[in-house]
Amino acid sequence: MLPVETGDLNPQSSLKALPTVAGGFVSAIVASALGYREWGALFFGAGMFSWLALESIIIYRLYLFEELPKPLRPTLGIQLAPPVVGIELQLNIQSEWKR
């Protein structure tokens, strides 16, 4: 562990904002499936921006704070889901533009 002044930072607080990523991605999938590809691209950008902002906080937490307890380690898979969904979404939006 690195000696870092964290102030009032709560390491658990970053997981509460993860639904902002899912909301943007799910909205983009639905919009692109219904043919609103511009709206899908907008929601994709909002979800991706949210994910990039949150991922840096999560990586910071994993790097600088104490080790995750063993029962919480499987929850890291939840944080691996947004990039996979984002790739699927980008492929869906791009395939709509080629039609």
**How do residues 34-52 score in pLDDT, each as one tens digit?**
888 889 889 989 988 988 8
Least confident of 4-8, 21-25, 38-42, 82-86: 4-8
* Spatial contact of 20 and 50, defined as CB atoms under 8 Å apart: yes
* Spatial contact of 50 and 17, defined as CB atoms under 8 Å apart: yes
Q: How many helices (H) and strands (E) does the chain have?
A: 3, 0
Rounded CA separation 68/7 (Å): 20
Question: Which tens digits make up the pLDDT trace of 74-88?
Answer: 877 877 788 888 888
* Spatial contact of 64 and 53, defined as CB atoms under 8 Å apart: no
* Spatial contact of 22 and 48, defined as CB atoms under 8 Å apart: no
Does pTM surpass 0.75? no
Q: Which residues 6+ apart lie within 8 Å of 48 measured at CB? A: 24, 86
* Spatial contact of 78 and 39, defined as CB atoms under 8 Å apart: no
